[in-house]
Amino acid sequence: MESAAGAAWMRSAFVDVQAELALKIKRTSASINHSGVKGAVNEEHWIELFRAYLPNRYQVASAFVIDRLGGCSQQIDLVVFDRHYTPTLLDQQSHRYVPAEAVYAVFECKPHLDKGYLEYAGEKAASVRRLHRTSVAITHAGGGFKPREPFPIIAGIVAARSSWADSLGDAFLSNLPAGEDERLDCGCALEGGAFDDFSGALEVVGADGALIYFLFRLLGKLQSLGTVTAIDWAAYASIVTRRADAQARG
């Protein structure tokens, strides 16, 4: 039987997490004038939050996403990816390169939601979704699993607030990117609410408790995806051999 007092305490604690993040972002905006630095600091606030609430099987970082054909996405503010089965590649300081096969989700972290930022987040999502992903069979003690079809990569946007008077109302909904590659599956505006289409239809909630609602819904969606595909390392190795062959012919 549910304890009313326990449920109230838990709800209050979750709301406090949202208020704490909102305060961190507000302090950043008030104390840092350089827009690039301000954006980078706020990205780190969101990355820290995702790392705190997602299980350790999920890595979270700002990164570029690459594929075995040499394709590369735009820089993504927040990538949720697998590190257990798929290492990152060519990392240099803060520049991390994640194979497309390892990616579960991508997010843009913005100061607010408006038409321009929604379109921008959609373009970033498309730059990842259009990359090629390999998949090979997995061998185990009892035999093997066939190559699995790559799942659709989740894309979303997170921000401090919405710029529309009705927050995540009709104006917001009418400006969500319509293209399949640009689609935003979920998002959260701390002072506006949260949304997702994980149940097959778009659902929107108000600002009160929106952050934890958003995180728990995302956790459920990630859980439903299972494990990423097994990467075809031979295909990546062929990039090197193709380059060597070309130099030999030249």
Catalytic residues: 77, 108, 110
Tokens of 189: 């505006």
15 near 209, Cβ under 8 Å?
Answer: yes
DSSP character string of 20-51 = HHHHHHHHHHHH---HHHHHHHHHHHHHHHHH
84-92 CB contacts, 8 Å cutoff, 24+ apart:
84/57, 85/227, 85/228, 85/230, 85/231, 86/228, 86/231, 88/63, 90/66
Rg (CA), the chain: 20
Q: Which two tokens stand for residue 156?
A: 């979303």
